[in-house]
A and B are shown apart, each in its own frame.
Chain A
Amino acid sequence: MAKVMVYPPTSMILADLVERMGHEALVISKEVRKKVTTPGLDSPPLNMTAEDPKKGLKYAAVDVPSGVRGRMSLLGPMIEEANAAIVIKDNACTLGCTGCARTNELTRLLLRTKRIPLLELDYPKDEGEAKRFVHEIHQFLEELE
């Protein structure tokens, strides 16, 4: 079983496909859930604190905006944990965890340069493309150990 990071990291469709093939999907909702349900933090409901952008310094320098570093404190450990990734290009409008273009660029770059099995696909525009999309993901996941 592989740990497969999906991009956008909020994609439930991709997560579902990964889980159906017996792998573990790395999605940001799991990280956010940890933040929301861990007691003792003081900024509900998301419970991000000023300490989180500091954790993000591992992935982006201090002169990178705090919002990028805060998001990277969630995404960075997921990228480190991943041993495969599926990246969807030209995906639709994204907000919240994926609402910052600079964070998204850095995430894609770190996934591409990690030298792990990587599948990059365009966002499907019609039914035919959607079928090919699912088929390619299926094939990629099947080949993973």
Chain B
Amino acid sequence: MIRIAQLSCGPEYSGVQKELETAAEMVGAKLIFPEVSLEDIKNVEESFGVEVASGDLNLAMARATRIVENPDLADAVFVATCFRCAEGAIVRSEIRKFIHENSAIPVLSYSFTERTTADTLLTRMEALVTTAKYKGLLSRERQTGLTAGIDSGSTTTKSVIMRDNEVIGTGWVPTTEVLKSAEEAYDAALKEAGVKKEEIEGLGTTGYGRHLVGKHFGAKLIQEEITVNSKGAVFLADAQKGPATVIDIGGMDNKAISVQDGIPGTFTMGGICAGASGRFLELSAKRLGVDITELGKLALKGDHTKVPMNSYCIVFGTQSLVNSLSAGSKPEDVAMAACHSVAEQVFEQQLQEVEVKEPVIMVGGTSLIEGLPRAMEQLLGIDVIVPHHSQFIGCVGASLLVSGLVED
């Protein structure tokens, strides 16, 4: 049983404590509350570095200090405070940094509302548990044998076939019916690789449809996208040793993952506002009358400063887009502004929650929209790597990890 230490303020009074416990139980973990004394709480100014007005936040900081002093107390840490609480947000972020800098325990930070459900938390909790439980498997750096991966995403379904550390076949189709799309992508990858399904020694699945697809194909590994994508990203970018930051802007949600030696340390997964998603770029391409594959090239010719656009909401973002086109803005400027708008949302909402360490690796289908990594580079002031096959990181990660299970 994986023990996740809950350091929080407010979930009981928001009526979501049961949801947190359910999410933990669903992934075979248990929430625990490290014991501290009243003196520990009174001393947080000295031990942690600050004392705040809310007692429950001081308690959370005292618990964080106790975990750092006694790392055997917990396998992972879940830091949670109320959404929209400034004091909570500051403390949550500082606790995350404190544990990250002073221990090797994986941390998940989250801000909840009364609408937070166990399902919302499931992928995050699963990733936290995987990171704590399967460090050996996650530290695997080479793919061996003949294995496959399927990434059943919200917008597209991808598949790869790998043999002896090389990608030998790929398949990529839009997601319609989950199983049908998975069959198509898998068949395309097998065809390109020139191998038969029966020859595959192990299959790993990831993405939204991972459970359905995994069950259908009898997958040896069914894994959430955070750990799998981290692995795939550092493998493809040849950055398996040392720190790295993985940014995956998906069709429905975004992931920002701080990685150390190929293993996720802290991560955030956003998915509330569509203005920060690949879906907005798809919509922008449609409105500009270009194919999504051409949007990036068009954007590179444009200047985002000529078009005011920065919205977390896909509807408001589209309004800005329509208004600027009506006002006579050039399509290339609008295309770059759309890329900048998405990059800025990810920068403002998610990259503040993880340690951004170089190399920064952008992955997923949106990384191929050239304007987007360029916009991210401009915002971060550093180079961003988009590895070859970046749209296949999920299935590459799954294929690599499942080869470890085949060997075992």
Which residues of A pack against B, CB within 8 Å?
Answer: 42-44, 46, 48-54, 63-71, 74, 93-102
Give chain B residues whose Cβ lies under 8 Å from the Cβ of A52: 13, 15, 114
Give chain A residues whose Cβ lies under 8 Å from the Cβ of B16: 50, 66
Contact A99 B15 (CB under 8 A): no
Give chain B residues whose Cβ lies under 8 Å from the Cβ of A96: 12, 56
Q: Which of B81-116 contact A (CB under 8 A)?
A: 81-85, 87-88, 112-115
Q: Which of B35-91 contact A (CB under 8 A)?
A: 38, 41-42, 52-59, 81-85, 87-88
In the bound complex, CA of A53 to CA of B11 (Å): 11
Contact B15 A101 (CB under 8 A): no
Given the interface pairs A43-B15, A53-B114, A101-B87, the reply to whether A67 lies near B53 with Cβ below 8 Å is no
Does B155 lie at the interface of the complex (its beta carbon under 8 Å from any beta carbon of A)? no
Given contacts A52-B13, A69-B14, A98-B55, 7 further A-B contacts (CB under 8 A): A48-B15, A53-B114, A65-B85, A67-B14, A70-B14, A99-B9, A101-B87
Does B271 lie at the interface of the complex (its beta carbon under 8 Å from any beta carbon of A)? no
Give chain A residues whose Cβ lies under 8 Å from the Cβ of B55: 93-95, 98-101
Residue of B nearest to A48 (CB): B15
Q: Among A50, A74, A93, A94, which residue has its beta carbon within 8 angstroms of that of B115? A: A50
Give chain B residues whose Cβ lies under 8 Å from the Cβ of A66: 10, 13-16, 82-83, 112-114
Does B18 lie at the interface of the complex (its beta carbon under 8 Å from any beta carbon of A)? yes
In the bound complex, CA of A101 to CA of B11 (Å): 15
Contact B59 A67 (CB under 8 A): no
Distance in Å from the Cβ of B31 to the closest Cβ of chain A?
14
Which 10 residue pairs are nearest across A and B when measured between Cβ atoms? A67-B10, A99-B56, A101-B53, A65-B82, A70-B13, A66-B14, A43-B18, A53-B114, A50-B15, A67-B82
Given the interface pairs A68-B82, A99-B59, the reply to whether A54 lies near B54 with Cβ below 8 Å is no
Contact B42 A54 (CB under 8 A): no
Distance in Å from the Cβ of A62 to the closest Cβ of chain B?
10
Q: Among B58, B81, B85, B114, which residue has its beta carbon within 8 angstroms of that of A70? A: B114
Contact A93 B58 (CB under 8 A): yes
Distance in Å from the Cβ of A64 to the closest Cβ of chain B?
7
Distance in Å from the Cβ of A67 to the closest Cβ of chain B?
3
Give chain B residues whose Cβ lies under 8 Å from the Cβ of A46: 12, 17
Q: Mark B341-368, 1 if CB is under 8 A from A, else 0.
A: 0000000000000000000000000000
Give chain A residues whose Cβ lies under 8 Å from the Cβ of B82: 65-68
Distance in Å from the Cβ of B120 to the closest Cβ of chain A?
12
Give chain B residues whose Cβ lies under 8 Å from the Cβ of A101: 52-55, 87
Q: Among A42, A54, A64, A67, which residue has its beta carbon within 8 angstroms of that of B13? A: A67
In the bound complex, CA of A98 to CA of B54 (Å): 8
In the bound complex, CA of A136 to CA of B113 (Å): 42
Give chain A residues whose Cβ lies under 8 Å from the Cβ of B17: 43, 46, 48
Contact A93 B38 (CB under 8 A): yes
In the bound complex, CA of A48 to CA of B15 (Å): 5
Residue of B nearest to A44 (CB): B18
Distance in Å from the Cβ of A126 to the closest Cβ of chain B?
19
Q: Among A44, A49, A97, which residue has its beta carbon within 8 angstroms of that of B15? A: A49
Give chain B residues whose Cβ lies under 8 Å from the Cβ of A50: 14-16, 114-115
In the bound complex, CA of A46 to CA of B18 (Å): 10
Distance in Å from the Cβ of B66 to the closest Cβ of chain A?
15
In the bound complex, CA of A69 to CA of B82 (Å): 11
Contact B41 A93 (CB under 8 A): yes
Contact A65 B54 (CB under 8 A): no
Give chain B residues whose Cβ lies under 8 Å from the Cβ of A97: 13
Residue of B nearest to A54 (CB): B114
Contact A95 B15 (CB under 8 A): no
In the bound complex, CA of A101 to CA of B52 (Å): 9
In the bound complex, CA of A102 to CA of B13 (Å): 13
Q: Among A53, A94, A95, A102, which residue has its beta carbon within 8 angstroms of that of B14? A: A53
Distance in Å from the Cβ of B53 to the closest Cβ of chain A?
3
Contact A71 B13 (CB under 8 A): yes
Give chain A residues whose Cβ lies under 8 Å from the Cβ of B114: 50, 52-54, 66, 69-70
Give chain A residues whose Cβ lies under 8 Å from the Cβ of B11: 67
Give chain A residues whose Cβ lies under 8 Å from the Cβ of B9: 67, 99-100
Distance in Å from the Cβ of A23 to the closest Cβ of chain B?
28
- Some 9 contacts from A to B, beta carbons below 8 A apart, are A42-B18, A50-B14, A65-B82, A65-B83, A67-B11, A68-B10, A68-B82, A93-B41, A101-B53
Given the interface pairs A95-B59, A100-B9, A101-B53, the reply to whether A53 lies near B15 with Cβ below 8 Å is yes
Distance in Å from the Cβ of A7 to the closest Cβ of chain B?
14
